Every structure is written in C-alpha cells, then in structure tokens.
C-alpha cells in the first residue's frame, strides 16, 4: 500500500511531536489494520509457526514468535507440532528510520532581573520574546509487525493483521510487545477494520495489561478479551 507524500509528512510530524512530548507520554499508540475471514472456534485453535526457507535458524524471528505466542495464548490458541496444527501463523516485521525537522523558537529576555509588574504577570510587558527560530532534527523510527494466519490443510488465509507505530525508540525488539498486543487485541476483529490501540505504561515503564482501542468496525465488534478495554 502506497502512502502519498503529504500523508507521510503528516505521519512523521505527528511522530516528531510524540518524541518532543515523550516525557509526558503514558501510553504507546499503534495503528492496527485487519482483514478477516475467521470462523474458527476455541476448540480448534491449534497452530504452528511457519517460516520461509532462509528463516529456519533466525534467532530474531524466534524471539518475536515467543512474544506473539504469548498473545495468541490469551485468545485460546495452543501451539502444537506442524502436523497436528489446524492453522499456520507467519510473521513479518521491520523498522524504518527517518529524520524530522521542527522549527523551535529561541527566546530573548531583555530584562534578566525580576520585573515587579502586575499580579500574575511575572515577565512584565517586555518578554521573553521569540526572536528567532532554529531548526532541530529528530530521529523517528517506524516499527511494523504483520501476523498472517492460514488454514494448514487448505492454505486459505483467514486472518491478516498489521500493527504499526512510530516514535523515538530505535529498537524493534523493545517495540515488539506493544505491536503484538495491539495486533491481537480483541481477536478476532472484523474484516477491513482500521483502528488505533493505546497501551498504557505501568509505573515501572513496562506495558500495562490494559488495552484501549478506538476505531469503527464495519461488522459488530466481538467482546473484548480478558484484561482489555475497547472504546468504540
């Protein structure tokens, strides 16, 4: 899917503001897009991970599979040998870096000593003044996770979800728990759903168990999974 240049600039600018306000941020925001033809039941949610030929000994992929497996287990999926699995789960992932330039004001105060002016007017009538603007560049990183579920016997694709977020985090492995939890929140969601998922951080800086999702679904939304909160 191609994104026109104005949409991309707007996305990068929003990500830049996220970096600037990172000190106040208490959650990670992820955009999720899903396509679904899901009809499975809890009793048949057995699966195995599938890989391309050149990924058989990929330690990075093994790490991400464990993260996704934890999220699948929360939705009654059980990992088994490939021969016994009803579904095959394939992962795609990546990270891209960009630089965003933001014009920031430089302030000048011609009266460095305290000004005893009107109440609630600590600067008085003279300042500080934005006398110039300086361009500051910030690195922005876009993280991506795709989860594709197919029926092993027929090869039919039954669920395909993509999660994407941006910010100042340069490590994909640190972003992966948020991507995986966002991608599979309230599984299964309707076909063609695009929504935003926010995962709060706990007091130690880790991911909270609470998930808040916003966005319109073309079909009736399923009940949220345990520990998740959906806001339509």
What pLDDT digit, counting tens, does each position of 185-214 carry?
999 999 999 999 999 876 554 554 555 556
Phi and psi angles of residue 70, each rounded to the nearest 5 degrees, phi first? -60, -40
Q: What is the mean pLDDT of residues 40-46?
A: 87
Kindly state the tokens that stand for 94: 């990546």
Is 111's pLDDT higher than 90?
no
Compute the average pLDDT of residues 74-100: 94
- Domains in the chain: boundaries: 5-101+139-230
Q: Which range has the worst mean pLDDT, 5-14, 20-29, 59-68?
A: 5-14
Region 31-44: mean pLDDT is 92
Say what the pLDDT of residue 207 is.
52
Task: Report how far residue 44's alpha carbon sits from residue 28's, in angstroms, rounded to the nearest whole number.
Answer: 32
Which among 215, 151, 224 is positioned nearest to 186, based on CA atoms? Answer: 224
Helix crossing, 172-184 with 59-73: angle to 10°?
Answer: 30
pLDDT digits (tens, 9 = 90+) for 133-173: 888 888 899 999 999 999 999 999 999 999 999 988 899 99
The domain defined by 5-101+139-230 folds into: Double Stranded RNA Binding Domain (3.30.160)
Closest by alpha carbon to 74, among 231, 226, 230?
226
**pLDDT over threshold 50, residue 228:** no
């Amino acid at each position: 899917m191609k994104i026109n240049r104005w949409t991309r600039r707007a996305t990068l600018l929003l990500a830049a503001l996220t970096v600037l306000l990172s000190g106040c941020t208490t959650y990670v925001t992820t955009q999720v897009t899903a396509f679904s033809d899901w009809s499975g039941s809890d009793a048949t949610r057995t699966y195995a991970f599938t890989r391309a030929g050149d990924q058989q000994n990929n330690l990075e992929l093994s790490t991400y599979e464990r993260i996704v497996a934890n999220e699948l287990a929360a939705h009654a999926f059980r990992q088994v040998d490939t021969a016994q699995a009803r579904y095959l789960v394939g992962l795609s992932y990546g990270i891209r870096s960009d630089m965003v330039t933001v014009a920031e004001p430089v302030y000048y105060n011609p009266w460095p000593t305290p000004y005893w002016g009107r109440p609630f007017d600590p600067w008085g009538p003279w300042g500080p003044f934005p006398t110039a603007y300086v361009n500051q560049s910030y690195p922005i990183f876009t993280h991506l996770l795709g989860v594709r579920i197919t029926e092993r016997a027929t090869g039919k694709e039954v669920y395909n979800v993509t999660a994407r977020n941006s910010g100042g985090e340069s490590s994909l492995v640190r972003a992966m728990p948020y991507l995986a939890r966002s991608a599979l929140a309230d599984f299964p969601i309707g076909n063609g759903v695009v929504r935003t998922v926010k995962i709060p951080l706990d007091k130690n800086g880790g991911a909270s168990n609470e998930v808040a999702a916003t966005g319109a679904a073309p079909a009736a939304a399923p009940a949220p999974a345990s520990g998740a909160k959906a806001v339509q």
